[in-house]
């Protein structure tokens, strides 16, 4: 049954029921049918101009479309009608968080929680702000509070454990990791794929988690933008999509790769979905591409259509299932070949990602069956090294210099069975 069928049934009996139009709007917005959602919200408001929740719904739909100014305007109208609507402050916080305006995000979440201290998503948002600010202790406190209020909140248990690892807090760690894995195996959506990678989960768990996550968050588009037609350009066009074209390990590793592409055979595109910080590495990256597209402010559908219009043959995702990724671009299938590389070494579990670039250490041959992608092996290491600006140190380091145990005792700790 379609998620809005019950509302259609109600409206067939009472077409002027504003609450049913609101419910229909929320249902179709949930499946990304934004035009239908706006029609439903407008109808609800024409029947009941005081319905603040309809303005909230309109704002959320605008957020999905990256139309933040219109979203804020809708939220403001909702607050004029209902100043104590905590969900509006929550959603404002989510926009500020997405824009990395952390102070304003924190103020909005605090306002939401002052109206409803049991709002677990408000505590989750607070935690995410503090992660962005690198304040891991405050983030962990917020995640802990959210967990006490709503243990099954999507993704929460995973980010909490990941934050705990950042704090090097190993108290009760194995028990909590075991609980997370068992909960996931029992069908709970308690962690994202990225957080599952670092807690001793099996390759099968990682595969299953990635598949279920993209099925829920980024399912394949109903209609692919690329439909099998051949391109007839003089050169093969390669596009790299990344939120990390600024001082970041991915940028530092791969800058030289872009510069060394054979321009007699390839035309290279950079598609930035992250901030422009005007840094030296950002300017260098911009120069390294034949064409550079600053797409941070665009909705994923717009970006995917631009990629299709540029007739890019090979589209490379440098984020995978990490923070600030835009996997939904790839879900639209804008390119004939789509590749997972560098930023995320696990499987994305998606049938619209064709290859993952790896080496035999990263993905042993015996693990290939637990990857949705075909594995394209590089002969030595999948990690590039930018020889021009990153000299490899000649010094050998000891684990003790960093407060870590010697390898033997560390390995023993990893293999000690848990009850």
Per-residue pLDDT of 72-103, as tens digits, reads: 999 999 999 999 999 999 999 999 999 889 99
Residue 265 neighbours by CB under 8 Å, 6+ apart: 235, 236
| Token couple for 397 | 């380091």
Q: What does the alpha-carbon distance between residue 343 and residue 376 come to, in Å, rounded to a whole number?
A: 15
The candidate with the shortest Cα–Cα distance to 53, out of 65, 40, 36, is 40
323: left (phi over 0), alpha (psi -120 to 50) or beta: beta
Read off the DSSP letter of residue 152: T
Q: Where are the beta strands (DSSP E) in 60-110?
A: none
Q: Find out whether 341 and 259 touch, Cβ atoms under 8 Å.
A: no
> Hey, which residues does 376 pair with through a beta bridge?
357
Residue 414, pLDDT > 80, answer no
pLDDT digits 0-9 by tens, 195-234: 999 898 999 999 999 999 999 889 999 899 999 999 999 9
Question: What pLDDT digit, counting tens, does each position of 163-185 carry?
Answer: 999 999 999 999 999 999 999 99
Token pair, residue 262, equals 């054979």
May I ask the CATH class of domain 236-377?
alpha beta
How much is the pLDDT for 407?
62
User: Tokens for 161?
Assistant: 């454990």
Whether the per-residue pLDDT at 351 is higher than 90: the answer is yes
Whole-angstrom CA distances from 114 to 87, 131, 139, 140, 305 are: 12, 21, 18, 20, 42
- For the chain, how many residues are written? 419
pLDDT tops 70 at residue 240: yes
Q: What pLDDT score does 419 carry?
A: 36
DSSP run (H or E) holding 90: helix 86-98
The per-residue pLDDT for range 356-400, each reduced to its tens digit, is 999 999 999 999 999 999 999 999 999 998 766 667 788 888 888
- The whole-angstrom separation of Cα 210 and Cα 173 is 23
Q: Which residues pair with 241 in a beta bridge?
A: 271, 317
How far from chain centre, in Å, is Cα 247? Answer: 19
Token pair listed for 32: 């990304």
Write down the domain spans for the chain.
236-377
Which positions ≥6 away from 82 have C-beta within 8 Å? 52, 88
Which residue, chain included where needed, has tokens 């991915």?
250
Check: CB of residue 306 under 8 Å from CB of residue 231. no
Please, where are the H alpha helices in 99-227?
102-115, 120-132, 136-149, 156-166, 173-185, 193-197, 203-217
Q: Which of 160, 167, 166, 217 has the alpha carbon at shortest distance from 183? A: 160
The percentage of residues in the chain with a pLDDT greater than 70, rounded to a whole number, is: 96
CA pair distance 189, 58, nearest whole angstrom: 27
Do residues 115 and 79 make contact, with C-beta atoms less than 8 angstroms apart? no
């Amino acid at each position: 049954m379609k998620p809005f069928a019950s509302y259609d049934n109600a409206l067939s009996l009472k077409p002027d029921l504003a609450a049913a139009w609101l419910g229909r709007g929320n249902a179709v917005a949930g499946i990304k049918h934004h035009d239908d959602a706006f029609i439903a919200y407008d109808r609800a408001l024409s029947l009941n101009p005081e319905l603040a929740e309809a303005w909230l719904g309109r704002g959320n739909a605008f957020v999905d479309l990256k139309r933040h100014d219109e979203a804020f305007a809708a939220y403001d109208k909702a607050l004029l009608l209902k100043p104590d609507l905590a969900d509006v402050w929550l959603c404002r916080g989510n926009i500020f968080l997405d824009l990395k305006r952390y102070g304003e995000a924190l103020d909005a979440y605090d306002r939401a929680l002052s109206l409803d201290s049991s709002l677990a998503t408000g505590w989750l948002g607070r935690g995410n702000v503090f992660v962005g600010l690198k304040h891991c202790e405050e983030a962990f406190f917020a995640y802990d509070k959210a967990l006490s209020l709503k243990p099954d909140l999507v993704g929460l248990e995973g980010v909490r454990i990941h934050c705990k690892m950042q704090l090097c807090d190993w108290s009760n760690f194995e028990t909590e990791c075991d609980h997370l894995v068992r909960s996931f195996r029992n069908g709970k959506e308690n962690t994202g794929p990225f957080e599952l990678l670092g807690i001793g989960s099996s390759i099968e768990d990682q595969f299953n988690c990635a598949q279920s996550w993209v099925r829920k968050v980024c399912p394949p588009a109903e209609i692919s933008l690329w439909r099998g037609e051949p391109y007839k350009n003089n050169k093969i066009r390669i596009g790299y999509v990344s939120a990390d074209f600024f001082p970041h390990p991915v940028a530092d590793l791969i800058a030289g790769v872009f510069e060394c592409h054979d321009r007699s055979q390839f035309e290279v595109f950079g598609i930035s979905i992250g901030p422009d910080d005007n840094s030296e590495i950002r300017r260098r990256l911009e120069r390294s591409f034949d064409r550079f597209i600053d797409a941070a402010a665009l909705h994923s559908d717009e970006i995917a259509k631009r990629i299709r219009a540029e007739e890019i043959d090979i589209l490379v995702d440098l984020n995978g299932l990490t923070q600030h990724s835009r996997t939904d671009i790839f879900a639209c299938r804008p390119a004939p070949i789509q590749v997972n590389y560098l930023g995320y070494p696990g499987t994305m579990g998606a049938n619209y990602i064709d290859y993952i670039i790896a080496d035999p250490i990263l993905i042993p041959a015996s693990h290939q069956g637990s990857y949705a992608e075909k594995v394209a092996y590089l002969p030595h290491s999948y990690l590039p090294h930018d020889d021009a600006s990153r000299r490899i140190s000649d010094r050998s380091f000891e684990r003790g210099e960093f407060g870590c145990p010697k390898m033997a005792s560390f390995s023993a700790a990893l293999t000690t069975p848990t009850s």
